[in-house]
Every structure is written in C-alpha cells, then in structure tokens.
Amino acid sequence: MIQEVVKNIFSQIKEFCLDLFFPRFCLGCNREGNWLCDDCLATLEIQGQVFCPICLKRVIDFKTCRSCQSKTHLSGLLWALPYQNPLVKKLIQQFKYQPFIKELSQPLAYLIISHLFLTDYSQATTLTPPPTELKAKEKWLQEFVLIPIPLHKRRRRWRGFDQAEEISKEISNYFGLPTLNNILIRKKETLPQVDLEGKEREENIKGAFICLNQGVVQGRKIFLVDDIYTTGATMEEAARVLKEAGAKQIWGMVVARG
C-alpha cells in the first residue's frame, strides 16, 4: 500500500517536471496544454461505420464481407480515421518516428475508443438481446483479448517502446480487457514496410512472427492492435500465425487506414 502511494507521488512529480520543462503543444494548432486539444479533436470525423478490410464495402456486422472472407484471416477490421487526414498523419508520425512522443498513445487510443462507441454493435454481438446502451455495448468487447503487433527487439530498443503495445495498454485500461504481450513475437528483423510496395511488403513480412504459447490463444477472440493499416500485409501475416495457433476470430483494430 505504502509502495503504491510512493509510486503515485513520484509519478505526479515526474509529470509536473515534464510539464514545467517540456510543455506540450497541440500538434494541430500549437496551443499549449495537450498534444491534441479539444478543438482540434472536434475537427476529426471519426468513423461511425465499419468496412470490409479487403474491398472497403460497408458492412453492418463488423465482419469481412462474404466475397472477401477467403482472401484474409481477419474476421473484420476496425479503424477510426483515414490516414490521409493531415492531423491524423502528423499524430501517428510523431508517435512512431522521431522525436517518438510516447504520450501520444493516449489520444490515439481515444480515437479508437470513440470509434467503438460510435459504431452500432447490435449486428456483431452474440448477446441476446443485442446491447443498446454504451455500458451494455462494452459487454461485446469483453469477449475479446488484445494482442499488439510486436516490433522486433532491436527496433523496440532503438525507439524505446512498442507503439502498438502502448495503444493496446490504453484500450485495455479503459475497457478492462486483457492484453496478451509476449505471445506474438517478431522473430525476423524486417525492412520498414513504409519503404515498400504491396508485393514487396508481403515478402518482407512473410515468416516474421511466431506464437510462443498456442494454448493461450486457442479458442480466443482477438483484437490485433496496431497504429495503421495500409496494405494489410503485416496484420494479415500476424493474423495467419494466430489463426494457425487456434484463435477463433481475429479482428484488426487500428487508429487509421492508409
């Protein structure tokens, strides 16, 4: 108990010092206070609908459309905003590229959380009757565990943190969902996907992941968490590995779609 109190005090002192010597400025309007101010947040048109990850057809049950189900291991893809939005792009780039603003995990996770609350769960849930209130809707989420797309250990050391893990942590704290870290491992160091095109990305990421404990994922419904979904090569390879390990369903969950 005392240790927890001391830890909280030191955490508050640390936050105070950071705010004092390294103040935060909104990446949208440069106003001091937060990395994303309320006014700039209000300009973002967060998705209230869900689309097939392959053909982008709107779907009402969250799931990959029937025509595309044979083309992917993903049961569906949840994304909050298009990456083409200049502010969204800036937030993600400042998060995962230098200067590596780790604290951006909170506003980025908030965008995903907002998308979940804006979207109609009634066609996706197995609950009877379908949930309608916000808190009731969270029951659908309780069927899932979170697994972040992992970085290779060398890249994680270089960056200082894993961006997908940080976003996953925020979502886990909000909904109380379990996060399974160190289950999906990136065993192969790959080239940055941003520098490659479609087929090159698939070849680059092929064989990059392993599942260390198949028993933990067998029969599970999984949200596979990352910051951005572009061609889908990385998430597809991770989903394939988890599916082969016995996962029941795998849904992609990202801030933005490229």
Encode pLDDT of 111-135 as tens digits: 999 998 888 654 544 444 444 455 5
Which residue, among 224, 206, 96, has the nearest Cα to 149 in the 3D structure?
A: 224
Residue 127 has what pLDDT?
A: 40
Residue 119 has what pLDDT?
A: 82
The span from the CA of 149 to the CA of 186, in Å, is 8
Which residue, among 234, 230, 231, 238, has the nearest Cα to 204 in the 3D structure?
A: 234
Residue 126 has what pLDDT?
A: 44
Residues 88 and 143 in one domain: yes
Residues 65 and 188 in one domain: yes
Residues 128 and 72 in one domain: yes
- CATH number, domain containing residue 80: 3.40.50
Query: How many domains would you assign to the chain?
Result: 2
The span from the CA of 184 to the CA of 150, in Å, is 7
Structural domain of 116 = 44-257
Token pair for 65: 């459309």
Residues 166 and 83 in one domain: yes
pTM beyond 0.75: the answer is yes
Residue 125 has what pLDDT?
A: 47
Residues 135 and 28 in one domain: no
Helices (H), 25-143: 38-42, 86-96, 105-118, 134-141
Residues 85 and 16 in one domain: no
pLDDT tens, position by position, 89-112: 999 999 999 889 999 999 999 999
Residue 192 has what pLDDT?
A: 79
Residues 60 and 83 in one domain: yes
* 3-state SS, residue 65: coil
The tens place of each residue's pLDDT in the chain, 258 residues long, gives 565 544 555 555 555 455 545 689 999 999 999 999 999 999 999 998 889 999 999 998 788 999 999 999 999 999 999 999 999 999 999 999 988 999 999 999 999 999 988 886 545 444 444 444 555 566 778 889 999 999 999 999 999 999 999 999 999 999 999 999 999 999 988 887 877 777 888 888 899 999 999 999 999 999 999 999 999 999 999 999 999 999 999 999 999 998
Residues 153 and 30 in one domain: no
Contact status, residue 92 vs residue 85, Cβ threshold 8 Å? no
Residues 68 and 96 in one domain: yes
Residues 209 and 166 in one domain: yes
Residues 91 and 166 in one domain: yes
Residues 119 and 31 in one domain: no
